[in-house]
Amino acid sequence: MDERRIQKALRHARLVLSDGREIRGDVFVGLCDPHHLGPQRVGELLNEEAAFIPVKTEKGVLLLHRAHIVSVTLPADRERDDLVTLGKRYAVRVTTTHGELRGAIFVNLPEASTRVRDYFNQSLRFLPLFQSRTVAYLNRDFILLVQD
């Protein structure tokens, strides 16, 4: 075994790219995260600085350019916890360049910034949209409009 390798966990996800291509595969996340107990969340990985993220598919490992990922959808059970669902809950409808999604967002920002607008104007590139069984991380560069 290569001792330089860092142990990772896999999270199965559906990724939509800017050209409309859909990729299903496993995203590699760290086994621990310095900001909370447990493994790294896919949303945390997506909001890191690295330009490319590896995704393990049936055809091998692909390196996807993060700027061209429109959305990443995966089961919510591994991504949802008390920290990510703190704050005021809003039901929203989001239209991206590749379709419309409905779900909930949780705005946990300073007191004067608790509007839907404040949530979508954060500096994060990927924002979570919680649906009944899944969470979709949406690249804000591909969001056309939001309705609450």
Any domain includes 2: no
pLDDT tens, residue by residue, 40-68: 889 999 999 999 999 999 999 999 999 99
Contact 109, 87 (CB under 8 A): yes
Overall domain count for the chain: 2
Model-wide pTM > 0.85: yes
- pLDDT above 80 for 6: no
DSSP class of residue 33? Answer: B
| C-alpha to C-alpha distance for 109 and 87, rounded to whole angstroms | 8
Residue % of the chain over a pLDDT of 90: 68
Contact 57, 25 (CB under 8 A): yes
Q: Are 142 and 83 contained in the same domain?
A: yes
The CATH number linked to 42 is 2.30.30
pLDDT tens, residue by residue, 73-127: 999 887 776 666 777 899 999 999 999 999 999 998 777 778 899 999 999 999 9
Of 5-14, 97-106, 133-142, minimum mean pLDDT range: 5-14
Any domain includes 1: no
| C-alpha to C-alpha distance for 116 and 112, rounded to whole angstroms | 12
